[in-house]
């Protein structure tokens, strides 16, 4: 599946399964969420083995080294062979995940589901006081 040539950045991000669609990968690149060799990039930028990528996807941050290129999306096991995540990036992501778990991600969960009266109040609040 790896062709070890050059492939577009948005296609590689899709093939490596960082994004579900090429369109989402393109939007991320255009939005400045992806850096190639510590520089901003465009979706059509050619990616080769040995390039370093910094990927911001939601609240996750990845720092990866491109090991191979592919223009086709395959199984996740094959996609993981296209890149190698740095140890520092992996440790930072695990630390952030653990911190979110311990803090409850800033959410204050109610002790139980809202009853009929509470649902009516919530619905009125959400609809603008109708």
Q: Which CATH class is domain 7-103?
A: alpha beta
Q: Please name the residues in contact with 15: beta carbons below 8 A apart, sequence gap of 6 or more.
A: 7, 70, 71, 72, 73, 74, 79, 82
Instruction: State mean pLDDT over 73-100.
Output: 93
Q: How confident is the model at residue 37 (pLDDT cuts 50, 70, 90)?
A: very high
d(CA 57, CA 121): 36
How is the chain split into domains, by residue range? 7-103
**How high is the pLDDT of residue 76?**
93
Question: What is the CA angle 69-61-88, rounded to 5?
Answer: 85
Given this model, what pLDDT does residue 103 score? 80
pTM, 2 dp = 0.76
Mean pLDDT of 70-93: 94
When computed from its CA atoms, the radius of gyration of the chain, rounded to whole angstroms, is: 20
User: pLDDT (tens digit, 9 = 90+) per residue, 20-29?
Assistant: 999 999 999 9
């Amino acid at each position: 599946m790896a062709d070890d040539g050059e492939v577009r950045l948005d296609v590689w991000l899709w093939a490596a399964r960082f994004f579900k669609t090429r369109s989402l990968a393109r939007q991320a690149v255009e939005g400045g969420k992806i850096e190639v060799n510590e520089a901003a990039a465009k979706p059509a930028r050619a990616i080769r083995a040995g390039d370093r990528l910094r990927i911001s996807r939601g609240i996750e941050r990845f720092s990866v080294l491109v090991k191979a290129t592919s223009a086709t999306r395959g199984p996740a096991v094959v996609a993981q062979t296209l890149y190698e995540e740095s140890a520092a990036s992996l440790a930072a992501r695990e630390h952030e995940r653990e911190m979110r778990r311990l803090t409850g991600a800033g959410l204050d969960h109610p002790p139980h589901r809202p009853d009929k009266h509470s649902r009516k109040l919530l619905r009125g609040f959400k609809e603008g006081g109708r």
